[in-house]
Amino acid sequence: MDKTNSRKSARSALEPRQGAQAIRRALAVLRILAAGREDGVPLAEVVRTTGLTRPTVHRIVHVLIEEGIVERHGRSGRYAIGNQVPELALARPRPSRLLVAANPSLQRASTEIGDTLFLTVRTGNDTLCVDRRIGIYPIQVLSIEVGARRPLGVSSAGVAILAAMPAPDARKIVAANEKRFAAYRTDVATVLGQVTAARRLGYGMREIGLVQGTKSISTWIKTPDGQPAAAMTVSAVRTRLGPRREQEVVEILLREARSIEQAIHG
Amino acid sequence: MDKTNSRKSARSALEPRQGAQAIRRALAVLRILAAGREDGVPLAEVVRTTGLTRPTVHRIVHVLIEEGIVERHGRSGRYAIGNQVPELALARPRPSRLLVAANPSLQRASTEIGDTLFLTVRTGNDTLCVDRRIGIYPIQVLSIEVGARRPLGVSSAGVAILAAMPAPDARKIVAANEKRFAAYRTDVATVLGQVTAARRLGYGMREIGLVQGTKSISTWIKTPDGQPAAAMTVSAVRTRLGPRREQEVVEILLREARSIEQAIHG
DNA sequence: GCGTTCTTGTCCATATTATGGACAAGACAA
DNA sequence: TTGTCTTGTCCATAATATGGACAAGAACGC
């Protein structure tokens, strides 16, 4: 449509295998639905965020319903990921390599820090929370749950992951997510600014978290090939994360991030 | 290709939404890959079991790789379900309704029976093992693992599920699975015979289990609308399941199957 | 070495397939 | 009523996915 890398048939390195437009579109739809979690997403929003036309989205979604990959919620009419998706997922070993590798680090960091700790992976243009540890401090930020999916850039974890990749790649992803930023009250320029700041600092930070009154700090975790694959985040009420404590927390997070990277290697 | 219900545009009740051949084919491929679990499946086998042409399967599989939905294993070159599938699955609440509903029954039955107990769901034309409980008896049949996926009809659970649905539906599914039966050393006629026997008995049974020297007994579990959705299976070494004990086990399984059906209702 | 039989990967002319503009109907509000 | 949402459908058309044919690589036997 608009991503015409057309011209001839230069099949070179990345991306351009053709002959499957419909399949790619169906997956784009699925990823948007996944962001809606259990509640799902109205058709119109899928249309808006994917940039596809409504007849196309409608057709895709209803075929996926027939196939059991998507479900429609009775009252609301929203579309959500169907139960055949976890069934397909059972084909893979659980828990994942990353979760195994990260487990001891999360354990240690959670004990030391006491605030809520998140492990977030990058998946395509999204961040996805895959683990959460609750600390001993009596006030915990629990609004982000395992399974939460957001466009890369709107959370401190997303900013950290973007900061850890080559700037042009990050810009490309942020641009691709543009249409989805409005729902999180941010925009391309703001996100890029936060990414630059995180790159300078060595970690991601949001003074004003997605949840009112909270502050988040994230360090990135890279795979052996240097690509950021995940982020480790601490969220707490803002007053609990002053400059002094911020440094303490960052030190622990950085230490454990490196430790997880080692563990993935082995 | 061959399932031409063509003629005009009679869009009536079941199945025939068109305009998404490619998506349906991609899903058919994914389901075959899922049956290969972690090891995956060679391209040629996908071609054989789906009945698609090789260029088509090749294209689909490689697009899915680019999208992260499929992975290719280094040495073997086999194709397997990729890590983006469990990531999409996180959008749904875990554990599922069925698992929650079945939990107490599985607990009770496992304690009472002492042999390995399986909960298996129907998904499309497959059975999928979703829970396994190990009993206290020292010899346990552990070869079937959570995530194991088989064509409906080759396991006692599959036979039970087929027996619980209207005969024409069952026949249709068995016919659709024909190409996949050879790998399990069975065929359409044998399966249909076992289904008829199970219907008469009131439960599914295999004197010669998929694993050498074992015997399996399965009862079906129906959803409120009368469709079988799952099966509860006991597997043990054959000598431990003589006619007398078979009756005992069947009684427990039937009781708990009804109990699970109640629990799903509520 | 060479042939045989597997496998996987690629090309491209073709017609089958998916597309999307236009239209319609339902829900809710003013 | 009219207006502004939403979702659903039709069908002529262009673009897409298709698959026959070809190629190359791997494993085996002799």
pLDDT of residue A15: 54
pLDDT at A11 over 50: no
Sheet holding B126-133, edge to edge: B149-151, B126-133, B116-123, B228-237, B214-222, B204-206
Percentage of chain A surpassing pLDDT 90? Answer: 84
* Closest chain B CA to residue A26: B23
- The partner residues of B181 in beta bridges, in order of sequence, read none
**Nearest residue for C17, CA–C1':** B19
Q: How far is B247 from chain A (nearest CA, A)?
A: 32
Report the candidate in A144, A172, A111 with the shortest Cα–Cα distance to residue A231: A144
Distance C14 C1' – B6 CA (angstroms): 21
Mean pLDDT on A38-42:
94
Question: Which range is least confidently modeled, A13-17, A146-150, B60-64, B126-130?
Answer: A13-17
* Closest chain B CA to residue A36: B91
pLDDT at A2 over 80: no
Mean pLDDT on A173-202:
95
How does residue B2 score in pLDDT terms, banded at 50, 70 and 90? Answer: very low
pLDDT at B49 over 50: yes
pLDDT of residue A156: 95
Percentage of chain B surpassing pLDDT 90? Answer: 84
How does residue A208 score in pLDDT terms, banded at 50, 70 and 90? Answer: confident
Alpha helices in chain B (DSSP H): 21-35, 43-50, 54-66, 84-89, 97-113, 156-163, 167-176, 178-181, 188-201, 243-265
Which of B17, B58, B70, B88 is most worth mutating to test chain A (most A CB atoms within 10 A of its CB)?
Answer: B88
pLDDT at B30 over 70: yes
Distance D16 C1' – B21 CA (angstroms): 12
CB contact under 8 A, B59 and A19: yes
Distance C3 C1' – B42 CA (angstroms): 26
Question: Which range is least confidently modeled, A80-84, A113-117, B121-125, B204-208?
Answer: B204-208
Name all domains of chain B by residue range, CATH numbers in brackets: 21-88 (1.10.10.10), 97-265 (3.30.450.40)
Report the candidate in A222, A252, A235, A229 with the shortest Cα–Cα distance to residue A106: A252
Q: Which residue matches tokens 């992951």?
A: A161
Nearest nucleotide (CA of A58 to C1'): D8
Between A75 and A210, the higher pLDDT residue? A75
The Cβ of residue A27 has, within 10 Å, a number of other Cβ atoms equal to 22
Percentage of chain B surpassing pLDDT 70? Answer: 94
Report the candidate in B177, B180, B205 with the shortest Cα–Cα distance to residue B193: B205
pLDDT at B51 over 70: yes
Question: Which range is least confidently modeled, A14-23, A90-99, B76-85, B140-149?
Answer: A14-23
pLDDT of residue B175: 96
Tell me the C-alpha distance between B101 and B163, whole Å: 23
Distance C25 C1' – A143 CA (angstroms): 39
Query: What angle, rounded to 10 degrees, do the helices at B21-35 and B43-50 form?
Result: 120
- Residues of A whose CB is below 8 A from B69: 27
* Closest chain A CA to residue B15: A66
Contact B135, B114 (CB under 8 A): yes
pLDDT of residue B9: 35
pLDDT of residue A89: 97
Burial grade of B9 (CB within 10 A; 0-12, 13-18, 19 or more): exposed
Between B94 and B175, the higher pLDDT residue? B175
Hey, what's the torsion of the CAs at B244, B157, B46, A71, to 10 degrees? Answer: -170
pLDDT of residue B4: 32
Mean pLDDT on A112-119:
97
Tell me the C-alpha distance between B251 and B259, whole Å: 12
Helix, strand or coil for residue B220? strand
Q: How far is B81 from chain A (nearest CA, A)?
A: 7
pLDDT at A144 over 70: yes
| Residue range B94-131, pLDDT digits in tens | 899 999 999 999 999 999 999 999 999 999 999 999 99
Whole-number mean pLDDT of chain B? 91
Between A94 and A35, the higher pLDDT residue? A35
CB contact under 8 A, A83 and B96: yes
Q: A235-266 in b/e burial notation, b at 16+ Cβ within 10 A? A: bbbeebbeeeebeebbebbeebbebbbebbee
Query: Among partner residues B68, B89, B121, which is closest to A89 by beta-carbon distance?
Result: B89
| Residue range B56-75, pLDDT digits in tens | 999 999 999 999 999 999 88
Distance C10 C1' – B55 CA (angstroms): 9
pLDDT at B1 over 50: no
Whole-number mean pLDDT of chain A? 91
Tell me the C-alpha distance between B254 and B220, whole Å: 8
- Residues of A whose CB is below 8 A from B80: 91-92
Mean pLDDT on B23-42:
95
Mean pLDDT on B237-255:
95
Distance C26 C1' – A42 CA (angstroms): 16
pLDDT of residue B15: 53
CA atoms within 13 A on the CB side of A146: 16
Query: Sign (positive/negative) of CA torsion B217, B102, B132, B165?
Result: positive
pLDDT of residue B8: 32
Tell me the C-alpha distance between B204 and B219, whole Å: 6
Mean pLDDT on A10-27:
74
pLDDT of residue B13: 43
CB contact under 8 A, A91 and B36: yes
Contact B249, B113 (CB under 8 A): yes
The Cβ of residue A178 has, within 10 Å, a number of other Cβ atoms equal to 14
- The partner residues of B6 in beta bridges, in order of sequence, read none
Mean pLDDT on B141-154:
93
pLDDT at A12 over 60: no
pLDDT at A14 over 50: no
Nucleotides of strand D under 7 angstroms from a protein beta carbon: 5-11, 15-21
pLDDT of residue A143: 83
Report the footprint of strand C: residues with C-beta closer than 7 angstroms.
A 1, 9, 11, 19, 21-22, 25, 52-56, 59-60; B 1, 18-23, 42-44, 47, 54-55, 58-59, 61-62, 77
| Residue range A70-108, pLDDT digits in tens | 999 988 899 999 999 999 999 999 899 999 999 999 999
Question: Which range is least confidently modeled, A80-84, A252-256, B179-183, B248-252?
Answer: B179-183
CB contact under 8 A, B91 and A121: no
CA atoms within 13 A on the CB side of B67: 28
- Residues of B whose CB is below 8 A from A147: 90-92
